Amino acid sequence: MLSERPSPPRHVVVVADLGGGEGYHVGDEAMAEANVAMLREAGGEDLTITVTSADPTWTAAKLGCAAVPWVGFAECNDDRQRLRLLADRDTARVIADTPLLAAVADADAVIISGGGNINSQWPDHLFERALVGRTARRHHTPVLITGQTIGPRLDGVHRDLTAELLVSAHLVGVREPHSAALATELGVGTDALMIQADDSLGLRPAPPDLLPDGFDPGSPDTPKRFIAVTVHPIAAAGDPLVAAVARQLAEVADRVGAQLLYVPHVPAAVGPLQRGDTDIAHEMARLSGGWVLEGAGARGARWASAAAWLVVATRYHPVVFATAEATPALALPSDHYTAVKSLGALGHVGLGGWHLNVPDVVGGRLAAAVGEMAARRGELAGWLRDAQSHLRRLETQRQARVLAGVGLRAPEGEAHDSTFDPVTRPDAPRPAGSWVQG
């Protein structure tokens, strides 16, 4: 059972997938920023916080704390090289010469910040976390894992390393039922397992410094209607799928009198298509007549979801931000991994039916889905407003357990209504249109 440490910590390491200015990822930055803010509020100025980053100088300036680089699994070509590097670094002699491992050795606790990186799709991240876990165990340092999607794909040695890491952790926080079941299958006990919402719930929204020319969101008292859209590179430039999504969004926006604001979450061009969210956002904006909000950062992206009339997203965190701000959101998962995450976020507020798989958007089904959501916006927004106390309660419980695990006391929080549980309520709004069939 996780218990409160006997004395306040002086140093906590936060392991997060931060890419810096060139490799910025809204979701990973949002979770890390929220966890650093939580530690700083509870620990005060005497607490040293060190985070991991691909660009430590940029991240240190951004978050106002120390930052160290990764060990180097990203430079390996395959698991054989990663296993060799793991064996080489998993020895006491190299710890002092490796900034990340030296920080872990010096720390009173390690927090593995939220994300979906414990997955065979990103083996370098998985190996890095396994090495951190081994180093922490060597120094009897507690590891607390928070806000994770585990898997769903774990191949061969990846599954073994994941089980090793999870079973040795003092706390394993997971953000959807699929991950909870997999963690249990891998050996995590009920005392260590924590069911939670996403780590970024506590992040406060902030308007971006610059809005696109010609885009007018109005004011808080007299907001103007807009639909916030985030689409990752689902297809190559000029692909009919991209055009189909853009045309259907434009159709609904025209019908309901809304602007379209595209909000990129990963600007860098990565992956086999060598496209970033910004590339596809500009292509869709040209096709649909919308605007692109560039460089908004995590808090700016949260603001877009808060101020939007509706949110439509193939990525996970816009759905998290929207439900946290009582904005109705339609999730567009593109594969099993994104479906596990997005449906998990919707499931926390009892709205798991409001999703449409990317391959199914053709034939007008996306327009039908967004159109139904627009027609029932008042009902959905009202339900989400009632669900806010449930989300706040989940986040309060998460913070209390994580902070207790590092030896800190959670700040006094507001009392939350414990009577509304959107997950078990049978009267949750469910989609009724033909778009949900098949």
pLDDT of 60-110, one tens digit each?
999 999 999 999 999 999 999 999 999 999 987 888 889 999 999 999 999
Comma-separated ranges of CATH 3.40.50.2000 domains in the chain = 226-383
CA distance 300 to 317: 13
Query: Does residue 415 or residue 248 have the better pLDDT?
Result: 248
pLDDT in tens, 385-429: 999 999 999 999 999 999 999 999 988 766 666 678 898 889 999
Nearest of 401, 413, 392 to residue 109 by alpha carbon: 401
Residue 163, pLDDT above cutoff 50: yes
Residue 243, pLDDT above cutoff 50: yes
- The predicted structure's pLDDT at residue 415: 62
Domain 11-196: give its CATH architecture: 3-Layer(aba) Sandwich (3.40)
Mean pLDDT of the chain: 94
Residue 1, pLDDT above cutoff 70: no
Sign of the Cα pseudo-torsion (184, 188, 194, 198, in order):
negative
226-383 CATH choice from 3.40.50.2000, 3.30.70.2740, 3.40.50.720, 3.30.365.10: 3.40.50.2000
CA distance 238 to 244: 11
- The predicted structure's pLDDT at residue 3: 47
- The predicted structure's pLDDT at residue 414: 65
For the segment 354-379, the average pLDDT, to the nearest whole number, is 97
Q: Compute CA 400 distance to the chain's CA centroid, rounded to the nearest angstrom.
A: 20
Q: Among 81-90, 184-193, 215-224, 334-343, whose mean pLDDT is lowest?
A: 215-224
Confidence of residue 372 (pLDDT cuts 50, 70, 90): very high
Asked if 438 and 363 touch (Cβ cutoff 8 Å), the reply is no
Paired strand residues for 172: 145, 193
Neighbouring C-alpha atoms within 13 Å toward the C-beta of 130: 25
